[in-house]
């Protein structure tokens, strides 16, 4: 059965539904989420894409994906986190950081606090081959080395700005 997604106008109102892999008409958008997990040490949980992935093989990035029809941003975070890593996010440990706009989608950026041990993760075999905790400096080095997904940096910068604001207010 084909996966159906909702399409939104620029006011983020649902106006149409299409099959997931159909082209998105100009002026319409899908909903995607980027989920950034952070721990008490301020490190970020990164996952590595499969070596056999068609797009961005072996690259490191965040958890996330596209919303299915009828799913809220939060619902998508919960589903993608569980599918990809076996993590069940709790709203009490999470914050919606904001939304950034790409050409044909809205990307909701979520920050979730967890101290999950890497050995307790359950990787989605069709998407994830590895995971690790990384500091900001580690991520900068990964960017320089060309092994970090560059298209997700706007969302990560939003997370950094949010965390800096929270830390400054303490």
Which residue stretches of 32-152 are H helix? 73-85, 136-144
Residue ranges, the chain, pLDDT below 50: none
According to DSSP, the residues that pair with 101 across neighbouring strands are 106
Token reading at 163 = 């965390």
Question: What percentage of the chain has pLDDT greater than the value 90?
Answer: 97
Q: What is the pLDDT of residues 34-80, one digit of tens each?
A: 999 999 999 999 999 999 999 999 999 999 999 999 999 999 999 99
Which pLDDT value is given to residue 97? 98
- What is this structure's pTM? 0.95
CATH of region 4-169: 3.90.79.10
Q: How far is CA 111 from the centre of its chain?
A: 9
Which pLDDT value is given to residue 79? 98
Contact, 84 vs 66, CB < 8 A?
no
Using DSSP's 3-state secondary structure scheme, residue 66 falls into: strand
- Cα–Cα distance list, 25 to 8, 66, 108 (Å): 10, 17, 20
* Spatial CA neighbour of 63 closest among 90, 105, 32, 106: 32
Which pLDDT value is given to residue 108? 98
Which pLDDT value is given to residue 116? 97
Which pLDDT value is given to residue 1? 76
Which pLDDT value is given to residue 170? 81
Which pLDDT value is given to residue 69? 96
């Amino acid at each position: 059965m084909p996966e159906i997604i909702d399409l939104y106008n620029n006011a983020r109102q649902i106006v149409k539904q299409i099959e997931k892999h159909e082209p998105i008409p100009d002026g319409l958008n899908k909903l995607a989420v980027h989920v950034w997990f952070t721990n008490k040490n301020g490190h970020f949980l990164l996952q590595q894409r499969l070596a056999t992935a068609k797009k961005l093989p072996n690259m490191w990035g965040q958890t996330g994906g596209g919303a299915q029809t009828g799913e809220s941003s939060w619902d998508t975070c919960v589903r993608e986190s569980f599918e990809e890593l076996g993590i069940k996010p709790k709203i009490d440990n999470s914050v919606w950081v904001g939304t950034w706009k790409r050409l044909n989608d809205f990307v909701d950026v979520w920050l979730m606090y967890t101290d999950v041990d890497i050995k307790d993760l359950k990787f989605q075999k069709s998407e994830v081959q590895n995971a690790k905790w990384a500091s900001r400096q580690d991520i900068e080095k990964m960017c320089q080395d060309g092994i970090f997904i560059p298209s997700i940096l706007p969302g990560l910068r939003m997370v950094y700005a949010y965390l800096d604001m929270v830390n400054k207010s303490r």
